């Protein structure tokens, strides 16, 4: 039982990072039905922006979070304006292929510009002490970094919920996701709303990138591939297009992954995650929180 609870603690911190990335996938899909495969690479860019801020500008990690979020948001908007906006009225396959191309461009561009070296954030940015926990009489441990990751994720999710449900921009985002043409007739600037969605999702990805870099203590130009794919799996598991679904899917996938690593083998972690994706698509394609809608003819 103690092992199970310990794996859940470990899974919550990993799942928090997946949830932050998955939010970007689900927000973009919810508003323009696009799976932005470049999202994981925007996360990588955010991790590197933070790295340069703390190493070369000598600012603390909190400034790195802020500057990285702004930089990644601008990158997300730039990608949307250049690569996706011209394809707004194209078939759904065209922007999907463009997203894959943009992902490859960012990955290979990152390798050319940043090199293949694996880098680490300087030590001492975040205190990472072990904290003893006693739950139901069982002695467990958690690190301050794990608790910080979970706390930051919860705060970011609360902020997102506030933006989506209680601001004019959030109302515009919801209106465009329901019916873009009707929203335009009501005076909503659809293009700016879509750009705002990309900016928010990219800013969340930047936070996830920094936390991932701190968690594994490494960053490299291809770091966005596997976490990006797993976050996409998390969004599908929870119900892609649904913000609560991305949160639930992220946490569920993180816990599931640590369970597989803890009880079986870390080598089986990735294959079983994608097997889980196939099972979800076969059994409940709309995801855990989604509803199966029958298309009428």
Residue 117, Cα to own-chain centre: how many angstroms? Answer: 24
Q: Is pLDDT above 50 for 20?
A: yes
Has residue 2 got a pLDDT over 80? no
Whether 37 and 228 have beta carbons less than 8 Å apart is answered as: yes
Question: Cβ contacts of residue 200 below 8 Å, gap of 6+?
Answer: 24, 27, 73, 160, 163
Q: At 198, is the pLDDT very low, low, confident or very high (cuts 50, 70, 90)?
A: very high
Q: How far apart are CA 140 and CA 125, in angstroms?
A: 25
- Per-residue pLDDT, 262: 84
Element (H, E) at 290: none
The proportion of the chain whose per-residue pLDDT surpasses 70, expressed as a percent, equals: 98
Residue 24 in this model has a pLDDT that exceeds 90: no
Q: What is the pLDDT of residues 200-250, one digit of tens each?
A: 999 999 999 999 999 888 999 999 899 989 998 999 888 887 888 888 999
Residues facing residue 219 across a β-bridge: 119
**Phi/psi of residue 141, nearest 5 degrees:** -135, 150
DSSP SS3 for 177: helix
Identify the helix (H) or strand (E) that includes residue 83: none
Q: Return the pLDDT at 297.
A: 40
CA angle 270, 213, 210 (to 5 degrees): 115
Cα dihedral value 260, 208, 96, 197, nearest 10: 140
Q: What pLDDT digit, counting tens, does each position of 88-113 carry?
A: 888 888 988 999 999 999 999 999 99
**46-70: average pLDDT:** 94
- Please give the pLDDT value at position 293: 58
Phi then psi for residue 221, to 5 deg, are: -60, -20
pLDDT at 32: 83
Which DSSP symbol is given to 119?
B
In this structure, what token pair is assigned to residue 56? 């070369």
Average pLDDT score, the chain: 88
Average pLDDT rounded to a whole number, residues 1-19: 85
Q: In this model, does residue 44 exceed pLDDT 80?
A: yes
Q: What are phi and psi of 116, to 5 degrees?
A: -100, 0
Per-residue pLDDT averaged across 256-284, rounded? Answer: 87
Q: What's the whole-number mean pLDDT along residues 74-87?
A: 93
Contact assessment for residue 239 and residue 288, using Cβ atoms and an 8 Å cutoff: yes
Confidence (pTM): 0.90
**Is the pLDDT assigned to residue 51 strictly greater than 70?**
yes
**295: pLDDT strictly greater than 50:** no
Helices (H), the chain: 2-32, 39-55, 61-79, 93-114, 144-166, 168-178, 180-185, 190-216, 225-238, 243-263, 269-283
pLDDT reading at 186 higher than 80: yes
The pLDDT score that the predictor gives to residue 292 is 62
Whether 134 has a pLDDT exceeding 80, the answer reads no
Q: How far apart are CA 297 and CA 165, in angstroms?
A: 33
Question: What does the H/E/C string look like for 202-268?
Answer: HHHHHHHHHHHHHHHCCECCCCCHHHHHHHHHHHHHHCCCCHHHHHHHHHHHHHHHHHHHHHCCHHH
């Amino acid at each position: 039982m103690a092992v199970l609870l310990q794996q859940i603690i470990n899974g919550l911190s990993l799942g928090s990072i997946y949830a932050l990335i998955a939010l970007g996938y689900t927000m973009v899909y919810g508003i323009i039905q696009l799976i932005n495969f470049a999202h994981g690479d925007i996360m990588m860019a955010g991790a590197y922006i933070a790295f340069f801020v703390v190493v070369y500008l000598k600012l603390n990690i909190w400034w790195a979070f802020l500057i990285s979020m702004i930089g990644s948001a601008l990158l997300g908007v730039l990608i949307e304006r250049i690569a996706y906006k011209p394809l707004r009225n194209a078939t759904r396959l065209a922007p999907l292929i463009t997203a894959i191309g943009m992902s490859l461009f960012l990955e290979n561009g990152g390798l050319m510009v940043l090199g293949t070296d694996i880098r680490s954030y300087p030590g001492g940015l975040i205190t990472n002490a072990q904290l003893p926990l006693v739950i139901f009489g069982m002695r467990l441990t958690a690190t301050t970094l794990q608790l910080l990751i979970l706390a930051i994720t919860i705060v970011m999710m609360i902020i997102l919920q506030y933006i989506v449900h209680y601001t004019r921009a959030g109302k515009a985002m919801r209106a465009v996701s329901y019916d873009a043409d009707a929203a335009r007739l009501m005076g909503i600037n659809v293009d700016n709303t879509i750009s705002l969605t990309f900016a928010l999702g990219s800013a969340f990805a930047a936070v996830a990138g920094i936390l991932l870099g701190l968690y594994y203590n490494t960053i490299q130009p291809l770091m966005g591939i596997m976490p990006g794919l797993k976050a996409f799996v998390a969004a599908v598991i929870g119900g892609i297009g649904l913000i609560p679904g991305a949160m639930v899917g992220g946490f569920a996938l993180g816990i599931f992954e640590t369970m597989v690593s803890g009880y079986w083998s870390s080598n089986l972690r990735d294959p079983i995650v994608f097997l889980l994706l196939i099972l979800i698509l076969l059994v409940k394609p709309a995801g855990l929180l989604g509803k199966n809608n029958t298309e009428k003819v």
